[in-house]
Amino acid sequence: MTNETAPLFTNPDRNLGMELVRATEAAAIRAAPWIGRGEKNLADGAAVDAMRKFLGTVDFDGVVVIGEGEKDEAPMLFNGEHVGTGNGGAFDIAVDPIDGTSLTATGRQNAVSVIAVSDRGTMYDPSAVFYMDKIVTGPEGLGVIDLDKPIAENIRALAKAKGVPVDQMVVAVLDRPRHKQLISDIRAAGAGTRLLLDGDVAGGINAAMPDSRIDMCVGTGGTPEGIITACAIKALGGLIQGRLAPKDSVERQRAIDAGHDLNRVLDQNDLVTGDNTYFVATGVTDGGLVAGVSRKNGFIRTESLVLRSHSGTQRRVVADHLESKWL
């Protein structure tokens, strides 16, 4: 037996994700008091402040390429903002201090705090096209799913690849008026739907997780969320395909001027070209991906998912934080 097949074992390196998780934990903890209080901007602001402070302690040279807003809209983490100590590797970073601010404000499930990271210059630049058509599956979808095909055909193909009847398939879709026909087509194909009120990052990742009840996530959602999801998909060995979907003629022309082919189907290797991605998510409210923040006996409990593509690792981090340290 040689060590040539196990380079990560013989020469282990640093897992940046295990440091980034402190930032998503902090964001989730600070957002938690706003759960169900109808103040999504205050929840988001608290999460942003906490995430920024903790990112400042991480030894890396991060540049936000997908942020929550522009610089003059502080406290949002803005595109072009430098985070980290400046020491260590250079990375692109995508942040969503709360994916699901409306879910947090209304006390509904599946709000998470998210950070995705990849080597500098590897994240796709959508040129301010904010929406894209997307489809996400686990590894069984590779070479099987095609965004250009009708949804019924994709459902049948994936069901065959997974070795399950079509009537056992569950497809996650954002519950939006634009998806009325899509939802009808999924049900007509014989599959069930899981309608998401918000938070298609969690929906997409659940579709790729091996122990999830969701088999596929489809629909038109945020382009930034698609790129964040791609970082996770590369660690899970799954599939994401997307196509830019400009919302109006201005966005369409901007994309064309930037050289984008609006008919092109992009996959995870187009959305993130490198093979060294990190994805970290901490639950704000309970959900299928991770549990939300809870308080008991003087401690605050968080649950996080940490994924890394280079090593192919999935870690669940359950942490108990002494509440008095957060007062």
Average pLDDT (112-126) is 94
- 5: number of Cβ within 10 Å: 8
Residue 13 has what pLDDT? Answer: 60
Q: Is 96 helix (H, G, I), strand (E, B) or coil?
A: strand
Q: What average pLDDT score do residues 190-204 get?
A: 92
Q: Is the pTM of this model over 0.75?
A: yes
Amino acid identity, position 304: S
Residue 231 CA to residue 236 CA, distance in Å, equals 9
Closest to 116 in 3D by CA, of 96, 100, 132:
96
Instruction: Write out the two tokens for 37.
Output: 């209080």
Q: What is the pLDDT of residues 48-85, one digit of tens each?
A: 999 999 999 999 999 999 886 554 444 578 888 899 99
Pairing of strands 216-222, 294-296: unpaired
Per-residue pLDDT tens digits for 219-271: 999 999 999 999 999 999 999 999 999 999 999 998 999 899 999 999 999 99
Give the pLDDT score at 68.
Answer: 60
- The whole-number pLDDT of residue 200 equals 85
Return the pLDDT at 107. Answer: 95
Spatial separation of the C-alpha atoms in residues 196 and 7, rounded to whole Å: 40
- In the prediction, which pLDDT does 1 show? 44
CA distance 143 to 32: 41
- Cα–Cα distance between 87 and 58 in angstroms, integer? 9
User: pLDDT band at residue 127, thresholds of 50, 70 and 90?
Assistant: confident
Is a pLDDT exceeding 60 seen at residue 90? yes
